[in-house]
Amino acid sequence: MKVAIIGTGYVGLSTGVCLAEIGHHVICIDISEQKINKLREGISPIYEPGLEKLLLKNSSAGRLQFTTSHHDGLKDAEIIIIAVGTPQREDGGADLTYLEQAAYDISTYLTSDTIVVIKSTVPVGTSEYIKRTIENSNDKEINFEIVSNPEFLRQGSAIFDTMKPDRIIIGSENIKAAKKVRDMYSSLKVPILFTSIRSAEMIKYASNAFLANKISFINEIANICEAVGADVEDVAKGMGKDKRIGEAFLRPGIGYGGSCFPKDVKALVHTAKINGKKFKLLNETIAINETQQELLVKKALKRFGKLKGKKIAMLGLAFKPETDDMREAPSIKIANSLTKLGVKVVAYDPVAKENAHKILGDTIQFVDSVYEAITDADAMFIVTEWEEFKQLDLVEILQKMKHPIIFDGRNCIEEEKIMQCKAIEYYPVGRPEIVIEGPK
């Protein structure tokens, strides 16, 4: 099948690469010349495990192309996928500017009957609006159908999630168009659910909001566990064994971030509001998440009394491991709070340094290894659970610190390792703290 994709962000690029991998002829369109030039050279503009390998493989096989020209890209496309960003507006709603531009481009450069698939996360009713926008600006005798096909991939595992999704949602009012989109995915052999366009759009928001809710729920349980002396990791495990609850997304920590949950949860609250409803539960989900991001700073304040003049090593900056994405990363709030309190923050992240520097500037110091960060530090904050941090040789590390104190915002250090230390103070989230006093 000949597929055109508008937008080469996480969703557009991962989808393009994977559709090419399963045999389609894919052309990805983006307005950024710099991005397209990089992609043509086989370089991925984002850090995403496995993506570059498939990019190179499918580009050399001639199944994957890149262009800045809508004229070339949209020509004869059987399916056009819109995968542009829908950033958050001031009022919490979704900004549809890029989507509207894609609609104008489609109506201008459409050359044959086609199906327009909306993959971007869009508020309910948007796909119909985009259909009208294309129709109103299209004076050619060309037919097209609109399909809502939301994306559920996660950054850091985008290729796996695209090749092996739990389900594919196809929302359409036209059976022929829905079946054609199903055929595009047929070799993936995963469950497909056909719905109306509006239900498909809602499934995306409801899914992200539910997952964010699960995270805020377990974080609240974690806070209560600390108060009553229970261990949230055991509690989450015990809860998760119940199939009705499930084990996924019950990892406690310092809150969710990224380009999706914070934005989509607020957008759903906004949708409820403009439709005369109040989504009280989600308002709490947001509030809990914001408070949770302050947890490590509060714990450190409780431990030290005041933080002015201290040096804190911050391990991890990206909003989650296996990505260099800093959007809505808890590390931003933590770094800002610490610097306001007069702390010298020295941060290390395996891949997000450059992006973090764009946001935090010179307010904190960026270094290239854990060892540089922790040398002479008064405390260590673990902010992102990179595998590298789980593997740390604690005995060696703690010797380099001024004080062997760890605040683990992701509960990623094994208890066994902590118990091997001669002296350590370890403060996890929702679990009993461990204090081993060294020889006096």
Total residues at interface with ligand UGA (CB under 6 A): 21
Name the minimum Å distance from CB 266 to ligand UGA: 13
For the bound state, the minimum distance from the C-beta of residue 14 to ligand UGA, rounded and expressed in Å, comes to 10
Q: Which of 159, 156, 208 is nearest to 14 (CA)?
A: 159
Residue 208 in contact with ligand UGA, rule: CB under 6 A: yes
Q: Output the smallest distance, CB 24 to ligand UGA, in A.
A: 21
Least distance from ligand UGA to the Cβ atom of residue 276, Å = 26
Choose which of 45, 93, 138, 152 interacts with ligand UGA (CB under 6 A).
Answer: 152
Q: Sketch the per residue contact string, 9 through 38, with ligand UGA: x for CB under 6 A, - otherwise.
A: ------------------------------
Question: Catalytic: 260?
Answer: yes
Site string for ligand UGA, 64-83 (x = CB under 6 A): --------------------
Minimum gap (Å) between residue 319 Cβ and ligand UGA: 5
Compare residues 180 and 251 and give the one whose CB is closer to ligand UGA: 251
Residue 119 contacts ligand UGA per CB under 6 A: no
Identify which of residues 253 and 428 has a Cβ nearer to ligand UGA in the complex: 253
Only one of the segments 32-40, 51-59, 101-109, 207-215 lies at the binding site for ligand UGA (rule: CB under 6 A); that segment is 207-215
Instruction: Give the contacts of 59 (CB within 8 A, at least 6 positions apart).
Output: 40, 42, 65
In the complex, least distance from residue 240 CB atom to ligand UGA, rounded to whole angstroms: 10
Q: Which residues in the 215-234 window bind ligand UGA by CB under 6 A?
A: 215
153 touching ligand UGA, by CB under 6 A: yes
Residues 6+ apart with CB under 8 A from 233: 252, 411, 430, 431
* 261 versus 426: smaller Cβ distance to ligand UGA: 261
As given in the structure block, the two tokens for residue 368 are 């290239």
Separation between Cα atoms, residue 60 and residue 245, nearest integer Å? 45
**Which range touches ligand UGA (CB under 6 A), out of 77-85, 125-133, 147-155, 170-178?**
147-155
Asked if residue 319 binds ligand UGA (CB under 6 A), the reply is yes
- Minimum distance, C-beta of residue 253 to ligand UGA, in the bound complex (Å): 4
**Shorter beta-carbon distance to ligand UGA: residue 208 or 285:** 208
Between 12 and 253, whose beta carbon lies closer to ligand UGA? 253
- Selecting among 18, 260, 412, 421, the annotated active-site residue is 260
SS (H, E, C) the chain: CEEEEECCCHHHHHHHHHHHHCCCEEEEECCCHHHHHHHHCCCCCCCCCCHHHHHHHHHHCCCEEEECCHHHHHCCCCEEEECCCCCECCCCCECCHHHHHHHHHHHHHCCCCEEEEECCCCCCCHHHHHHHHHHHCCCCCCCEEEEECCCCCCCCCHHHHHHCCCCEEEECCCHHHHHHHHHHHHHHCCCEEEECHHHHHHHHHHHHHHHHHHHHHHHHHHHHHHHHCCCHHHHHHHHHCCCCCCCCCCCCCCCCCCCCHHHHHHHHHHHHHHCCCCCHHHHHHHHHHHHHCCHHHHHHHHHHCCCCCCEEEEECCCCCCCCCCCCCCHHHHHHHHHHHCCCEEEEECCCCHHHHHHHHHHHCEECCCHHHHHCCCCEEEECCCCHHHHCCCHHHHHHHCCCCEEEECCCCCCHHHHHCCCCEEEECCCCCCEEECCCC
Shortest distance in whole angstroms from residue 38 CB to ligand UGA: 22
- Stretch 227-266: interaction string toward ligand UGA, x if CB under 6 A: ----------------------xxx-x--xxx-xx--x--
| Cα–Cα distance measured from residue 6 to residue 16, given in angstroms and rounded to the nearest whole number | 10
- Name the residue nearer to ligand UGA (CB basis): 104 or 249: 249
Q: Should residue 154 be labelled a site residue for ligand UGA when binding is judged by CB under 6 A?
A: yes
User: Helix 197-228 to helix 280-292 angle, to the nearest 10 degrees?
Assistant: 50
DSSP 36: H
* Residue 185 binds ligand UGA, judged by CB under 6 A: no
Distance in Å, CB of 163 to ligand UGA, minimum: 14
- Per CB under 6 A, does 316 bind ligand UGA? no
Site for ligand UGA in 353-412 (CB under 6 A): none
- The window from 19-27, 106-114, 151-159, 425-433 that contacts ligand UGA (CB under 6 A) reads 151-159
Binding site for ligand UGA (CB under 6 A): 121, 151-155, 208, 211, 215, 249-251, 253, 256-258, 260-261, 264, 319-320
| Residues with catalytic function | 260
